[in-house]
Chains A and B, each alone.
Chain A
Amino acid sequence: MGELKRIIYNCHQATFLIDKRMEGKITFRERIELRIHLIQCDVCKLYIKQSEKINEMIKSLLKTPAGVEIRLDDTFKDELQVKIDTQLNKN
């Protein structure tokens, strides 16, 4: 009971479980405890929404290249080609 009481009033632990749950990895007991916490905690309910939103934003930021096409410098490519050719001729 002591432990249960702790999570019921503990936003630190609750937000930890919220982030863990987003990948579906919390135990049944943790799930129940979190649910009880959320019944009376609107701030953590808001945290869930914002945390999910942040995941979406990160995904879209990382997966969208910076607008312009990123290409490797041509001089660097030429030099690289020379290095590869040299290496190939050695063998």
Chain B
Amino acid sequence: MIIPPTDHQLDPKNWVKAYADYLYMYAITRINDEEQAQDLVQETFLAGLNAMSRFAGKSNERTWLTAILKNKIIDVYRKRSSGLKTQELTNAEGEVTDFFDEADGHWNKQDAPQHFGLDDYDPLQGKEFNHILKKCMEKLPALWLAVFTMKHLDDEPTDTVCADLKISASNYWVIIHRAKLNLRACLQKNWM
């Protein structure tokens, strides 16, 4: 199949009108900080202006600008979790170890999963428990949250998440598991 060559043009005068809201929305759902999201939109446009000569016309404007923004979001993820990486994992290690008996790996009685509202809850139907989940997610370390966001919002493959966030594959699996254990426990505790 022959793909016809496309020749997209850049029209920076109209960027604010055409893409500011879209890019802001894109940023806010991924970093959850209004001020920082605003800044990223501005940085994206300014970076776009500087990179105009490198625009090859292969993608449309919006896709091109979104790619610039995406890189900036990953920078934010890295900054948020930098330096804390080891510390967070150690902290969490403490928490996770609490879920299981250290000697035999059995669930501790008080931490074992029990039946609660989650079991017959349909996340696509009702949204009423979203606020509990949100609260529980906010307690997670920034790096874990970044992993979840990339995985569940952007459906990024594991390799991409690891490369972007500079974590090893084994670290990735440990993070997923620990985050899950903590979220599940938090939901069980707060779900009425």
Q: Tell me, yes or no, whether B189 is within 8 Å of chain A by CB.
A: no
Q: Give per-residue flags for B152-189: 1 if the beta carbon is below 8 A from chain A beta carbons, else 0.
A: 11000010000000000000011011001101100100
Q: Tell me, yes or no, whether B57 is within 8 Å of chain A by CB.
A: no
Q: Is the interface of B mostly helix, strand, loop or mixed?
A: helix
Q: Tell me, yes or no, whether A12 is within 8 Å of chain B by CB.
A: yes
* Residues from chain B with Cβ under 8 Å of A15 in the complex: 177, 180-181
- B123 touching A53, Cβ below 8 Å: yes
Nearest residue in A to B49 (C-beta to C-beta)? A87
The residues in A between 1 and 57 inclusive whose CB is less than 8 angstroms from any CB of B are 6, 9-13, 15-16, 19-20, 23, 25, 43, 46-47, 49-51, 53-57
* Residues from chain B with Cβ under 8 Å of A77 in the complex: 16, 20
Count class of interface residues, chain B: 35 or more
- B106 touching A9, Cβ below 8 Å: yes
Q: Which of B64-72, B76-84, B113-121 sits within the interface?
A: B113-121
- B15 touching A84, Cβ below 8 Å: yes
- B13 touching A88, Cβ below 8 Å: yes
In the complex, A53 Cα to B187 Cα: how many Å? 11
Q: Can you name 12 A-B pairs with beta carbons within 8 Å?
A: A12-B105, A15-B177, A16-B173, A51-B180, A57-B130, A60-B127, A63-B153, A70-B28, A87-B46, A88-B12, A88-B13, A88-B49
